[in-house]
């Protein structure tokens, strides 16, 4: 079954203190299942990598390797940008950041559950009817 993957899961693949049994299980699911994500995900994880480099936690070389690794994963980036009015409506309705609402918008449009460690996004996904990838 396909699913939407959010940044809280992806961070767990390359930031040690964000790694959990859930992020590891989702990584394993990518071996047999397809994930989709908004293009926002690429901006989010590259910004986290940039911050890690600036703080001396990663070298630029390692950060580039992480980018290459993530780009090689079977994550399909949605070519359709969400409508700002829809994102805003979801953010207000479920008290989410517009970033999290972007993941929810894609999940609703594609009718797919979300793989997330973010509690607010998970609650919104359940309330909106798409649910969360469970292990």
Pick from 10, 14, 16: which is nearest to 40 by CA? 10
Q: DSSP letters of 65-117? A: HHHHHHHHSSEEEPSSPPPHHHHHHHHHHHT--HHHHHHHHHHHHHT--EE--
Per-residue pLDDT in tens (0 to 9) along the chain, 135 residues: 899 999 999 999 988 888 999 999 999 999 999 999 999 999 999 999 999 999 998 999 999 999 999 999 999 999 999 999 999 999 999 999 999 999 999 999 999 999 999 999 999 999 999 999 998
**Residue 35 host element (H or E):** strand 35-37
Strands 75-77 and 114-115: unpaired
The correct answer on CATH 3.30.428.10 for the domain covering 3-128 is: no
Domain ranges in the chain are: 3-128
């Amino acid at each position: 079954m396909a699913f939407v993957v959010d940044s809280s899961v992806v961070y767990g693949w390359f930031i040690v203190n964000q790694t959990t049994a859930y992020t590891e299980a989702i990584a394993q699911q990518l071996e047999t299942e397809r994930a989709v994500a908004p293009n926002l995900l690429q901006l989010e994880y590259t910004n986290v990598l940039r911050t890690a480099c600036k703080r001396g936690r990663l070298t630029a070389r390692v950060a580039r390797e992480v980018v290459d690794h993530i780009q090689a994963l079977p994550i399909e980036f949605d070519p359709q940008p969400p409508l700002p009015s829809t994102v805003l409506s979801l953010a207000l309705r479920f008290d989410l950041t517009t970033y999290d609402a972007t993941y929810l918008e894609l999940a609703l449009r594609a009718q797919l559950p979300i793989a997330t460690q973010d509690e607010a996004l998970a609650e919104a996904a359940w309330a909106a009817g798409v649910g969360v990838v469970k292990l």
